Structure 1
Amino acid sequence: MIKQVQEPLQIKGSVTATILEGHETVTNLQYTEEFDFLMAGYADGTIGAINERLEVAFVLTDDLTKDTCSTGMKHRPVSRNYPITNTFMCTYSNGLIKCWNYNFKECTWTTEEKRLTAGIAYHPRNNKFVTFGDNRRINLYDEDSKRQERVLSASDDKNSINGHTHTVTCASFHPRNTNELISGGLDNTVQFWDTRQPNAMRNISGVTIVGPGLEFTPKGTEFLTCSPDGRTGATLKIWDYATGKETLKFDGDTFKVAPLYCGTFINRNQFACGGGEPNFVRLLDINTKKNVALVSNINKPVKGISAGPAERNEFAFCAGKRIYIIRSIPK
């Protein structure tokens, strides 16, 4: 199902790349809680578990996922209150939301939404998550009860921009403020939410986000956006959360205005983002505001990134049918 291949990548910085090619387009990927597997979601609805030997150890699928596409997956953040569960949630293009146990290789529960569900975001401390998709709404779930608690959406007031007006592609919970989260999508806005209220509290405009390209900094005072629109001179920006004002545009290399489709923190200080035209991934230091590494000449646009084990300084990204595992070279 998967094999190691070579590709004439151009690499700047002290990193190495291992490239795997599978049977189908990889739409998203996520390391498991203990980093024993890299789970790859495919366009045919299957999920492959890649082990440390770079082999597919097993495949997760059932009759409900055969004619759909995996769109996103996340495991619950590990904490003292919520220890390792060996489970993760996965969303699908036909509206399915499934909880998979990868120890037992089975689905433990399923619910369904009447929409194209584009992805999922977990609360950093509580056992809650949100899903989002093409009906402009964000659904808040409690994982313990397996019930939907609230729908976050725009009001009927056409004079107020207090919610999304197009597909929602990403969301990120505030790391410290229990009830707050932000979301982005195809309507050129980032919306600020309090889960105790049905409508958004405020918003910023001018930011289109087409994939998982929205994330808070660890302290929560700022957040980053990855956009495909470079008309303003940069596609990776940092914003002040309290004021909603842009604080920085990254202009670190020759690809500074290339479209970005995804991004995530690899550790507390480094952020990886990827895109297309040209197809590339770059790793940046948030403190120095400089590039750490740049991987380019990738065969397809980069659509997903996941942070790997810190001791190996590892992360993975997907582009087309290929998965790229990037590791820092020890100094």
Structure 2
Amino acid sequence: MYTLAGVSGAGVARQARPSPSPDALSSKTSTPRSMMSVAPSAGDYEEPQAPPRHPIAEGNLRLLHTVECTQDVMCCRYNDDGTLLAVGCVDGSIKVYSTDTGSALYNLTDQETQDSHLPCTSIVFRPYKEGDKSLNLLLATYASGMVKFWHTATGDCLHTTHEIRQTLTVAYNKDHSMYITAGSDEKINVYDDKTRKKIFTCQPSPSMSVMDGHRFRVFSLKFHPDKVDEFVSGGWDDTVQFWDVRTEHSNRKICGPHVCGDAIDIDPYHNHIVTGSWRKDYNLQIWDYAKSNLIRTVPQDFNNSLLYCAQWLGKDHVLVGGCDANMVRVIDRGTLQTTGRLVDLPRGVYCLDNNRKGAVPKFVAGSARNLYFMEMKQT
């Protein structure tokens, strides 16, 4: 039989699928499937696979083109003008693509990344401003603990920092005077951009009775778009922490979001935070940055996903991706209704990004070895 995708769905009739039993799918978040567990080992038994399905764009989404990578996709990021997309892969390589044609332009790898055989976990283009000597410098983190600066056009690694941990996320501040990294421990390292030296460490108090920092892995960092020294972070300890890079401990927190990927974003227009959680219930929420209070929990979608990634899409929409129901979802921030979805993806969506151009930006999502370039249909 066929069902309609609910009040919050994309409004497209499609064949209903049996829902997993409560025992098979728990809303608990005690054992999330992290980005470190994407590829099965060679000895793992695999059940016979069903015939592959082709992704389907529903509602007001249009799938522009699909690009197949040589390795599983872990993270992705547009450059400032939206002409390039950098993609971090499970083998530690970084592929750089033209967003217009989808053609591969550069492959960023060196002996260190080849020897480690560990994933590239986060990437960000260094913000460009007038007077800079180089364009499209790329900062990348790795599960090996490396933090590398790349020059995309030449493929040269300009600098490498070795952190004693898995480094999982990186962010630049507004004037690109500093960047921060976080990962498998509770520390957030602050670096000077010019010297690439660590200048400060943000961390919790020694006492476990005080929650002024993280106690588990940190998967997401975001500087405030209008404040040079302020940023937020989230991870496995079910908190979003608010920080100032000039202070060792966080100054306040939000309790609740269980963040397992790049699933925190700050809206510069309304000063709101969106968080995506790796769980079935209360997995997409909007918060007031200044007051640290919950504004809204977005209603669940038909075949709801455990979210790995979430971000604002222009002024009027939210973009999310996740697993279990492997799909990309676009939500109208005013009505909280789903306006479009990309479904029948081969695996979970570990990363997505938008080019931040115009009122309705174009965007991309990564699932398995594929990149899906999309846009919203104009109404």
Residue 37 of structure 1 corresponds to: 84
The 8 Å contact of residues 309 and 322 in structure 2, kept in 1 or not, is answered as yes
Within 5 Å, which residues of 2 pair with 1:54-203?
54-66=102-114, 67=116, 68-79=118-129, 85-203=135-253
Partner residue of 1:280 out of 302, 327, 332: 327
The structural deviation recorded for 1:285 is 2.8
- 1:191 partner SS: strand
User: The residue matched to 1:303 in structure 2 has which SS?
Assistant: strand
Alignment partners' CA distance in 1, 2:131 and 2:320: 31
SS in 1 for 2:309: strand
Q: What is the aligned residue count?
A: 324
Relative to structure 1, the CA distance from residue 14 to residue 229 in structure 2 (aligned partners, 3 Å threshold; closer, same or farther) is closer
Among 251, 274, 296, which residue is 1:248 paired with?
296
Residues 6 and 19, structure 1, Cα contact 8 Å, conserved in 2: no
Please give the per-residue CA displacement for 1:268-327, whole angstroms capped at 9, x wherever unaligned.
333211011111111123244333321112111101011126368311110111111112
CA distance in 1, matches of 2:64, 2:324: 20
The DSSP-based 3-state class of the residue aligned with 1:171 is strand
Counterpart position of 1:222: 272
Structure 1 residue 136: Cα displacement: 1.4
Cα 1:327–1:83 change in 2 (3 A) is farther
| Partner-residue secondary structure (3-state), 2:112 | helix
TM-score (ref. length: structure 2) = 0.80
Go from structure 1 to structure 2 and tell me whether the alpha carbon gap of 1:309 and 1:152 turns closer, same or farther (over 3 Å shift). closer
Runs of 4+ in 1 over 6 A off after TM superposition: 81-84
**Residue 169 and residue 14 in structure 1: after superposition, are their counterparts in 2 closer, same or farther (change >3 A)?**
closer
Query: Which structure has the bigger radius of gyration?
Result: 2
In 2: Cα distance, 1:168 partner to 1:215 partner: 15
Query: CA contact under 8 A between 2:53 and 2:344: conserved in structure 1?
Result: no
Q: Which residue of 1 aligns with 2:101?
A: 53
Write the deviation string for residues 33-89 of structure 1: whole angstroms up to 9, x where unpaired: 232321111111111112232221221100011122100100123445869732110
Consecutive unaligned residues of structure 1, counting only runs of 5 or more, are none
CA distance in 1, matches of 2:131, 2:315: 22
Q: For each residue in 1:144-185, what CA deviation from the matched residue of structure 2 results, as whole angstroms up to 9, or x when unmatched? A: 121111111111122211111000000111122332111000
Native 8 Å contact 1:170 1:214 kept in 2:
yes
Which structure 2 residue ranges, 5 or more long, are not aligned? 1-51
Change (3 A) 1:213 1:83: farther
Does 2:255 match 1:208? Answer: no
Sort the Cα spacing of 1:262 and 1:122 in 2 relative to 1 into closer, same or farther, 3 A.
same
> Does the CA-based 8 Å contact 2:269-2:315 persist in structure 1?
no
Tell me the TM-score normalised to structure 1 length.
Answer: 0.91
CA offset at residue 16 of structure 1?
Answer: 2.3
2:223 and 2:133 map into 1 onto residues whose CA distance is 19
Percent identity at matched positions?
Answer: 25
Residue type of the partner of 2:340?
Answer: A
